[in-house]
Structures are given as C-alpha cells and as structure tokens.
C-alpha cells in the first residue's frame, strides 16, 4: 500500500492531468483546476492547499501569475511540475503499472506450477519473465514439493547464457532483478544450491538496474524500494559469499552502484537550489523511510564484507571512495538541514541512526572519513531525536527506542538516553502488553553498556509494578534465554527491585541442567547481585558462584581475578581451587624447556596463578605444579652448567619475572623452589643487571619454612611418598635417581599410593611432591638427596656473593637467617658448582672416586675384543676393555693392561658424533679420545651406549665380557684368547655337591631381596641357566662403583636381558643385592 504525502498526491494529480489532456507534462496549467482535482481525491485533507502552499515546495512546483504564462488576462495563477517532480510522479506511475503486469504474469505461471513442481527443468516454451515469476512462486511455496534441481536449472535458463545485461533487464520486464535475488536467497536458505556462474549475471544486472534509464537522460525509473531490497538480498547467502572471492568484482560493483544511488538521491532536484532540503530527508516526501532503510542496508553490507575490501584493486578502492562520498555527503546535509529532517517517521529516523552507527563502528575505525561521517551524522540526529514527539500517537514504539539506543552505544549521548528513557515510561503505560522480551533486552543493553542505567530507574520500576518480569520469565522462558539476554534481565530486575522474580529465577537456575551459560555471563550476573544488599539477591549470588565454578570446570575461559574478587562463598572458592588444580589443567602448564619458552610460560603464570596471589587465596597443587615446571625448566635450559648454557639478559629477566609471581606464603611452603632459584641466580652472572627484581625476590623468600599449608591431602601424600622413598632406599643410602624413585613408587608395595597421587596430580606428580618436600632435596642434574632442602643456607651464600646488589640492609636481614644443618657427609653437597647437569657433559670425565677405586682393585671388564686377521694390529687391539667415562653421550672403553707390542701407551674405543664432519660419525679405536691417531673406524652407531659388535675391518669382533651373557654363554669369566677368534672351550662343570650348595645360597639370597615375600624366586631358573646359580658370577655383573650412578645403572644392562627382568622395582632390588655382594 502506498503512503503518499500531500505533496506527492499533488505531483500525481498534475502528472495525470497532463496525460489526460495529452498536454506536455512540462506545460503550465491552471492552479485552481489542480486544486479542485486534488480536493476531489483527498477530501478535507486538501482544504489547506493554496497558492502559497504550492510556492513552498519549489522542488515540485513552479507557480507563476497568469500574465507571465499566457497573454490572456486572468486573476488566477498557473502551476507546472518541475523536472524532479515529473520524475517522481513518473516512477510511481510506472511502479503501479509494473505491479499490475506482474500480477497477470504470476497468474499465468501459477496455473502451470503444479505440473512443474516434480520436474527437473522448466518448460522450454517459457520466456525470461516466466522464469522470474516461477522463481518467485517457488520461494513462496511452503512445502518442499518441488524437485531439488528445479530452482537451480530455472536460474541457469534465465541468466546462464545471457552476457548482455541491458538486454537481460529488458527481457524480464515487468519483473526486476531484485525479485530474482530475493527468491534465490530464500530458496538457498531452504537448502537449494545455485551455480556461481548464474549468480554473477544477477549482481551485474541489479547494479545496472539501480541507474538504468528509459527516456530522457538521467530519468530514474527503478524505485528506491527496489534498490533497498536488492541490497538487503545481497546481504544474505549465497551472494554474500561472492565478496570473499577476489576475482569476483560484480558483488563489489553492486556496492559501488548503491553508494552512487544514495549520492544521486541527495542532490536530486537541488542542483540549482542548494538551500533546499533533498526530498529523501524531508518529511514533506514519503521517501525518507525507504532512503533510511537503504542507507542502513548498505551499512550492514559494508560491515559484513569490509574485511574482504582491503585489497589494492581498482574495484575495491572505488567501493571505499563511493562509500566515503555517500555517507560524508549525507552527514553534511544532515548538519545543513537538521531542522528539516523528518521527525514524524520513527522507523526512518531509527534506521538512519543505525546506518551512521554501523558505518562507524569499531570494525571500520581505521577509515577516518567514515568514522568522521558517523560522528557528525549521529550528532545531528541527536538534535532531531531530542525535539521529536515520541508518543504512541506519533507512531513511536519500544522497537524504535531500542534501535536508537543501540545506535548510540559507540558514541554515547546522555541527552538522547534521557529523552528515550522518558519516552519509554510514557509508551509502557500505553503499550505494556506489546513489549517483547527481545526488544527490552536490546533497550537495556544499550543503557547498560553506556553507563546510563540510572536513567532507566523509573521505567524499570514501572515494569516491576506491572509484573512484566514475572509474566515473561517463567521456567520455560528462562531455559530458552541466551546467556547474554539473561544477564541483561537480571540487571533489569536488580535495578527494578523485583526480588520476587529474582527468587524464582534462583529456583530455575538450581534446576537448570544446560551448559550454555559460560563464565563471562555468570560473572556479569554476579556483579549485579553483589551490588544489592537484599538477602534474596545474595542467595541468588551464591548459586551463581557455584555455576561459575561449574562453567570454569567445562573449560570456559575464566576471568579468575574477577571470580576470586566476587566469590565470597567458601564452598564455591574451595571448588574453584579444585577445578583450577585438576590434573588436566596441571598437565597443560607450558614447559619452559628452553630460553624462548619462558615468554610463553610467564603469561600462563599471570592468568592461572597470579589471580590467586592477588586474591590472597592459596591453591597449593597449582603452586607446586608451577614450581616443579620452573625447577625442571632451569635444568633443561642449562642454568646449572659451567658455564651456564643459557644466560642472556632476557632469559634472566623472564626467570625472575616468573619467580616474582609467587607470594611469600608460597615460597615459605616450598623450600626446594627457593633453593633451586637461588642456586640458579648464583650461577648466572647476568643476574646482577636486574638488581631491583633480585632484591624483591629475596625479600619474598625471607619467610621460607614458616607457613603451614591448607591442602591436607597434598601434605599427606608428600609425607607418605617421603616415607616410601626413604624406606625403599634402606639404611646407608643417601640418594636415589629420579627414574628409580618413579620405579619404586610404581612397584607392588606402593602401587595404591602411586595411583592415587598420579591420578590427582598427573604425569608430573614427582616434581610437584619434591617442590613441597621438607625431607627430600632435589637439585637439577643431581639425584634426589635424602636430606631436607637448605634454602636459608643458599640465601646466605647469595648474600655473601651479591651483597653489593642486595644492599647492606637486606644483606644483613639475610645473614641473620639461621642456616639449616649441613647435609650428611656421604651425600653430595648443594652448591652451584656441584649442581651441574651431568646429562649435558660432552667431554671425557673421570671422577675422583673412580681413580681411588682403580688404585684398590683392577677394573671390571665390560667388552672383549678379538684381533682379527691383521696380526700386529690385532695384538694391539685385542683384550678386555672397561668403561672409562662418556663421550658424546656414549661410553668410553679403555683396554685393560699394557699393549704387548709396546707401540702405544693405551687403547681406547669411543664414539664420535660427527658434528664437525659427517665422515667422523661412528666408533673409533685410538690412542686417545678424539686424538689424531686412529687405528680403526666403524660408521655403525651400535645399540644404546654400546659399540657395534660386528662390521669392523680385518675381522675384528667385539663381544660383551663373558659372565654368562652375550653370544657365548660360558660359565664364569672368560679371558681373551691369545689367538684371534672366539673363546676356547667351556671349563668343566662343578661337582654336584658344590652346585647344590650354590643353589641353596642363591635361593636364600633371592628370598632376602624382598624380605621373604618370594616374588624374586621367579628368576631362580634363569639365574641357574645363565650364571650356574653362582653368586660370584652374578656379582661380576656389577659395573665399577660410581657414586653418581643409581643402583640400577651400576649393573650391566645385558644382565636384565639375560634373566628377562623388566619390572623396575625388581631391577632396583636386584641392583641393591648385587652391589652388596662381595667382589670376586
């Protein structure tokens, strides 16, 4: 239905009169005749029309006295339509005829539609306009009766082969390409697919249609409604997807064409009358609403595709240029004709405000011209809004108020919000039954985001008095609410003091099993409830706290600072700590295993642990997990090497930053962390450069050892594991390797405790326990020491070393600490030099303990070398070799005894990693490790730390030293043969009585290994078979005593293979038993 203004009715009357009398439309006619005709059409509405009325609208009418027009003397005035007036009347007349023709064509296609629905293709006799009608009718079908391919093939017939766009537009008359686009968008939403090659001609035609001419140059015959509908259609799929493709310029062409049409409308008819308001903005013409909707549609389209318009192509640059021109001109005209802008059309005013807001929102701030146009336009519309009569009689409703309120979120205007709030009170009194929940949510959202909720107090009290919340928020409604909507409504009810409905909401939330309420929404609701002192609201707040923790447990991203600040309920806090300390979260903590990884580790600390520090809330498991990561990370970064592998200023700063995330209480409960950090700092010379950070860290550590923890379970586990490790080690043992500790806890005796702790803490359970331990000490690169950590002692050492950095006062405070008792003499001392990581050594190392052992007893053979075919070389190489350290991560073997030829002082078998030269990779015989004199090379890598047994030149072969292992299963120790080749025959067997006695002693020994439980007797037969049951041969499996090696590492690896021992606990018990056996 047309809604024409009085001016537009007068234009139509004059246009009709010129057609009836076949006069030139540009000719003058008697004003009285026009008035009579107009009064006959409109009745009393035309009573106010006079000569002066016509004269006011210069954009439509040209009024002159009779003598200026004709030679006939007459008191009457004459009037004619201006060119813009004739265009507008012509467009409206064409649109009426077009609709009548469309109706006829629809009726024709409607009659054949039932027969077409099951078919795949349209009829071959159909014309282009029939295809348009068919697509429109198919989009209106409420059932899915049509064939899936019928819409696609119909569009293909219409557009697929026609490359002449003007001809295509003429062929579809009286239909428009906009109608086709609307039909395609509707059908696509129902699941019908269309080919891209058929969609592109539609966009080209629609772009041309906006400016097509049919008659005099510049005559616009396509109505603004068609342009608006075209832009609304292209905002939907499948057309929107075309913007993502750089090669498709047709979609961008339509955007440019629309912007040009807006520019044209703004200057239409005012080229020589620049002081007149354009019809599209004036309340005297009916095009304001459609024009505003067109601007809103274009702003929406730009918002959807702006990310795909960042290219440098000519087409994309034209889009932005035209948009800047269109909205810049629109904003300037709004400023110039602010008093003339239609305030009687609430829908148009709301859409124009939306258009300015959308074109200037945060997504487009980078475009300064669009942003400036947005600010100017909204500022001018603010004046119109404040002067508007926002009453029900003027056509206003809550939908219009909500849209305007949302438009001013980015550029808040308190005067606008005050005006809207007052209008809302008036409108609610008259239309409370029609207020929809969605409208209210959008309305309150705008006020809440701009901090204007106080303006809504009276309106919200009205809602409460009318029981609006109670009527619209039953249990079913609450379950269907989106999280953000629920936040807004809770805000409204708290401000409206509707405590009764809030109490009902609490009941609904208790029973609500859904999981779409994330922590952000719940936190926002909790902020609102915490601001209210009413007891019912406080009760709702407790439920919200519990829901927040549940949401965090579902891995919704939490704002822990806010949660800890808002959560006052102890149960909710306790549950939050449990959630944040769950093993899954502990295992996801980043590992700072290299210098660059600390930059990722610190943000994790800041987001996960720091909120608990700021909230003065303890999370012991989480604290210990981060502490364990730091302690292991310092080792992996080589901080304890000499010199340190990683020591850059950035690394030191990152390490100190990580340490400063811990509070005084946390350091006090983790002495091992204090000890490790201080030793690491002591070994880093660059730590002096960050003096202030170092002083802050030391101050935090002064209370170490004085705070009791709240996590009873973790404290109990720590104590139980300390007991288990100390018990398993036995008396006289002062250390245990990390792997042995894990194997011990995984054994049968401690299986249940190990499972419980690992399930709770994750794979890094041991580092968490050791970070908290007060009876075990672990330094990176060393075994676990069976004595308490010594944090105060190392702090005193640091004060002595870095006294000038700490300052005299702080140094004195540190030196006033009472140091812990020294470690047992048999245990390694804690110190920066002694805490080097042995896993990183690359050169040969002979500990002092090994040198002393050599003086007391001959070394035990690990390998036997057979000389091969080259007699002189074979005599130099053959013999038994013992392990003599490590090189490049593998064992060094040195020949026992002197060279019989006297040609070399010593013979070594060692591995070279070939870093300098790939040809050097492999195992070498030489007179020194890495020396220039080499006897033989084998490029094979061997197994583990062992050399390759075969593949040597001149028939040289290697076998493990014979104590019942390897290729030759001899009884007793074998000696290298004087002749080259395999060992000689096996010695004769022992007497039967001797064998029986050995077997009795073996059983007794095995039974003693597990304190009479009998588990170790399972290896009895294997030991009889491989070692004759002889404890002397079994003792030979021991590698020479190395205080740095774990018990398991002091046993020949092939021993485990020979007796098929795979369980870690059994290996540990065997190793201790073998070490205790007397040497042969």
- Tokens at residue 632, please? 């292991």
Check whether 878 has a pLDDT greater than 60: yes
Check whether 380 has a pLDDT greater than 60: yes
Average pLDDT of the segment spanning 172-189: 92
SS3 626: helix
SS3 638: coil
The closest of 701, 734, 893, 648 to 813, measured between CA atoms, is 701
Confidence of residue 346 (pLDDT cuts 50, 70, 90): very high
So what's the pLDDT on residue 274? 64
So what's the pLDDT on residue 701? 87
SS3 63: strand
SS3 161: coil
Name residues whose C-beta falls within 8 Å of residue 704's C-beta, 6 or more positions apart in sequence: 667, 668, 671, 674, 791, 792, 795
Check whether 619 has a pLDDT greater than 50: yes
Confidence of residue 418 (pLDDT cuts 50, 70, 90): very high
Confidence of residue 974 (pLDDT cuts 50, 70, 90): very low
Check whether 149 has a pLDDT greater than 90: no
So what's the pLDDT on residue 402? 93
Strands (E), 972-1078: none
Tell me what the pLDDT averaged over the chain comes to.
Answer: 80
Tens digits of per-residue pLDDT, 818-852? 888 776 544 333 333 333 333 333 333 333 333 33
Confidence of residue 403 (pLDDT cuts 50, 70, 90): very high
In degrees and rounded to multiples of 5, residue 618 shows phi and psi of -95, 135
What is the full DSSP assignment across 509-548? HHH-------HHHHHHHHHHHHT---HHHHHHHHHHHHHH
So what's the pLDDT on residue 702? 84
Q: How far apart are the first and last CA of the chain?
A: 114
Confidence of residue 353 (pLDDT cuts 50, 70, 90): very high
Calpha distance 1018→936 (Å, rounded): 44
Average pLDDT of the segment spanning 1060-1077: 85
Residue 1066 burial (10 A CB sphere; 0-12, 13-18, 19+):
buried
Average pLDDT of the segment spanning 574-600: 82
* % of the chain beyond a pLDDT of 70: 82
So what's the pLDDT on residue 384? 92
Confidence of residue 804 (pLDDT cuts 50, 70, 90): confident
Tens digits of per-residue pLDDT, 469-480? 888 777 666 666
So what's the pLDDT on residue 419? 93
Tens digits of per-residue pLDDT, 899-955? 666 667 789 999 888 776 777 888 998 888 877 778 888 888 776 677 888 888 888
Average pLDDT of the segment spanning 649-672: 87
Average pLDDT of the segment spanning 950-979: 56
So what's the pLDDT on residue 570? 79
Check whether 1072 has a pLDDT greater than 50: yes
Tens digits of per-residue pLDDT, 52-110? 888 888 888 888 877 766 655 566 788 888 888 888 888 888 888 889 999 999 999 98
Confidence of residue 373 (pLDDT cuts 50, 70, 90): very high
Q: How many CB atoms lie within 10 A of CB 244?
A: 11
Query: Which of the two residues, 721 and 844, has the higher pLDDT score?
Result: 721
Average pLDDT of the segment spanning 1044-1061: 80
pTM: 0.62
Lowest-pLDDT range of 273-287, 288-302, 312-326, 1048-1062: 312-326
Check whether 727 has a pLDDT greater than 70: yes
Tens digits of per-residue pLDDT, 294-341? 999 999 988 888 776 655 566 667 788 889 999 999 999 999 888 888
Check whether 221 has a pLDDT greater than 80: no
Average pLDDT of the segment spanning 789-810: 88
DSSP bridge partners of 1038: 1051
Identify which of 652-666, 830-844, 995-1009 has the greatest average pLDDT: 652-666
CB 972 within 8 A of CB 982: no
């Amino acid at each position: 239905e047309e809604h024409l203004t009085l001016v537009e009715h007068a234009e139509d009357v004059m246009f009709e009169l010129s057609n009836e009398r076949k006069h030139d439309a540009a000719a003058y006619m008697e004003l009285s005749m026009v008035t009579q005709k107009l009064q006959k059409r409109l009745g009393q509405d035309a009573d106010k029309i006079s000569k002066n009325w016509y004269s006011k609208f210069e954009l439509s009418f040209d009024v002159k006295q009779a003598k200026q027009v004709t030679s006939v003397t007459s008191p009457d005035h004459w009037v004619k339509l201006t060119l813009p007036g004739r265009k507008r009347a012509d467009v409206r007349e064409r649109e009426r005829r077009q609709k009548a023709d469309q109706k006829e064509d629809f009726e024709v296609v409607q009659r054949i539609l039932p027969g077409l629905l099951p078919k795949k293709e349209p009829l071959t006799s159909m014309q282009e306009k029939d295809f348009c009608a068919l697509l429109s009718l198919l989009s209106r079908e409420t059932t899915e009766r049509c064939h899936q391919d019928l819409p696609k093939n119909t569009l293909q017939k219409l557009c697929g082969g026609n490359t002449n766009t003007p001809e295509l537009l003429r062929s579809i008359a009286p239909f428009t390409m906009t109608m086709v686009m609307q039909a395609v968008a509707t059908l696509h939403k129902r699941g019908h697919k269309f080919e891209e090659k058929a969609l592109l001609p539609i966009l080209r035609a629609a772009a041309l249609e906006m400016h097509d001419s049919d008659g005099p140059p510049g005559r616009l015959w396509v109505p603004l409604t068609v342009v608006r509908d075209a832009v609304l259609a292209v905002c939907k799929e499948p057309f929107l997807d075309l913007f993502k493709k750089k090669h498709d310029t047709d979609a961008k062409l339509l955007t440019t064409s629309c912007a040009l049409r807006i520019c044209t409308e703004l200057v239409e008819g005012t080229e020589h009358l620049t002081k007149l308001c354009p019809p599209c903005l004036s309340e005297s013409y009916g095009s304001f609403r459609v024009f505003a909707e067109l601007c809103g549609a274009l702003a929406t389209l730009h918002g959807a595709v702006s990310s795909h318009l960042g290219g440098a192509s000519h087409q994309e640059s034209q889009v932005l240029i035209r948009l800047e021109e269109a909205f810049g001109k629109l904003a300037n005209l709004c400023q110039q004709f602010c008093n003339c802008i239609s305030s009687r059309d609430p829908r148009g005013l709301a859409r124009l405000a939306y258009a300015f807001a959308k074109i200037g929102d945060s997504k487009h701030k980078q475009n300064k011209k669009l942003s400036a146009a947005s600010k100017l336009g909204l500022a001018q519309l603010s004046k119109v809004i404040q002067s508007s009569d926002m009453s029900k009689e003027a056509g206003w409703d809550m939908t219009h108020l909500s849209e305007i309120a949302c438009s001013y979120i980015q550029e808040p205007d308190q005067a606008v919000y005050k005006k809207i709030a007052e209008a809302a009170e008036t409108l609610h009194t008259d239309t409370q039954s029609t207020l929809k929940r969605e409208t209210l949510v959008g309305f309150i959202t705008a006020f809440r985001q701009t901090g204007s909720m106080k303006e809504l107090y009276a309106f919200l009290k009205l809602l409460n008095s009318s029981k609006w919340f109670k009527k619209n928020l039953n249990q079913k409604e609450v379950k269907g609410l989106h999280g953000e909507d629920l936040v807004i409504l809770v805000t409204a009810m708290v401000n409206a003091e509707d405590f009764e409905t809030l109490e009902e909401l609490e009941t609904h939330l208790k029973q609500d099993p859904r999981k779409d309420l994330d922590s952000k929404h719940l936190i926002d609701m909790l902020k609102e409830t915490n601001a209210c002192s009413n007891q019912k609201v406080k009760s709702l707040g407790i439920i919200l706290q519990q829901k927040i923790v549940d949401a965090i447990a579902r891995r919704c991203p939490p704002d822990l600072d806010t949660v800890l600040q808002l959560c006052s309920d102890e149960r909710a806090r306790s549950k939050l700590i449990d959630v944040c300390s769950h093993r899954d979260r502990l295992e996801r903590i980043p590992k700072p295993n290299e210098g660059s990884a600390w930059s990722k580790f610190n943000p994790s600390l800041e987001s996960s642990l720091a909120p608990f520090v700021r909230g003065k809330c303890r999370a012991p498991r989480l604290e210990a997990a981060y502490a364990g990561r730091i302690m292991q990370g310092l080792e992996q970064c080589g901080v304890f090497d000499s010199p340190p592998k990683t020591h850059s200023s950035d690394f030191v700063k990152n390490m100190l930053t990580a340490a400063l995330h811990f509070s005084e209480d946390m350091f006090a409960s983790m002495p091992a962390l204090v000890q490790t950090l201080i030793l690491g700092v002591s070994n880093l010379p660059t730590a002096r450069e960050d003096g202030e950070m170092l002083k802050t860290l030391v101050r935090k550590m002064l209370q170490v050892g004085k705070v009791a923890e709240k996590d009873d379970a973790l404290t109990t586990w720590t104590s139980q594991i300390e007991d288990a490790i100390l018990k398993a080690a036995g008396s006289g043992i002062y250390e245990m390797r990390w792997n042995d500790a894990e194997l011990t806890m995984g054994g049968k005796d401690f299986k249940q405790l190990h499972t419980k702790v690992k399930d709770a803490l994750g794979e890094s359970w041991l580092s968490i326990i050791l970070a908290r331990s007060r009876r075990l000490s672990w330094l990176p690169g060393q075994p676990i020491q069976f004595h308490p950590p010594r944090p105060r002692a190392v702090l005193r050492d640091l004060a002595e070393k870095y006294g000038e950095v700490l300052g005299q006062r702080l140094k004195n405070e540190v030196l006033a600490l009472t140091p812990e008792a020294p470690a047992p003499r048999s245990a390694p001392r804690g110190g920066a030099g002694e805490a080097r990581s042995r896993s990183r050594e690359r050169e040969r190392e002979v500990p002092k303990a090994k040198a002393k052992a050599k003086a007391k007893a001959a070394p035990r053979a690990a390998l036997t070398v057979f000389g091969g075919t080259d007699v002189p070389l074979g005599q130099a190489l053959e013999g038994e070799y013992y392990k003599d350290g490590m090189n490049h991560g593998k064992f060094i073997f040195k020949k026992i005894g002197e060279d019989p030829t006297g040609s070399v002082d010593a013979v070594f078998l060692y591995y070279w990693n070939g870093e300098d030269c790939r040809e050097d990779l492999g195992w070498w015989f030489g007179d020194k490790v890495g020396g220039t004199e080499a006897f033989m090379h084998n490029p094979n890598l061997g197994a583990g730390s062992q050399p390759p047994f075969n593949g040597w030149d001149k028939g040289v072969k290697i076998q493990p030293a014979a104590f019942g292992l390897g290729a030759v299963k001899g009884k007793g120790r074998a000696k290298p043969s004087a002749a080259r080749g395999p060992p000689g025959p096996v010695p004769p067997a022992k007497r039967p009585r001797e064998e029986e006695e050995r077997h009795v002693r073996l059983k007794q020994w095995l039974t003693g290994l597990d304190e009479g439980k009998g588990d170790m007797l399972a290896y009895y037969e294997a030991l009889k078979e491989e070692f004759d049951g002889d404890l002397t041969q079994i003792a030979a499996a021991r590698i020479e005593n190395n205080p740095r090696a774990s018990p398991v590492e002091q046993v020949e690896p092939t021993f485990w293979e020979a007796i098929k021992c795979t369980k870690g606990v059994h290996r540990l018990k065997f190793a201790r038993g073998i070490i205790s056996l007397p040497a042969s």
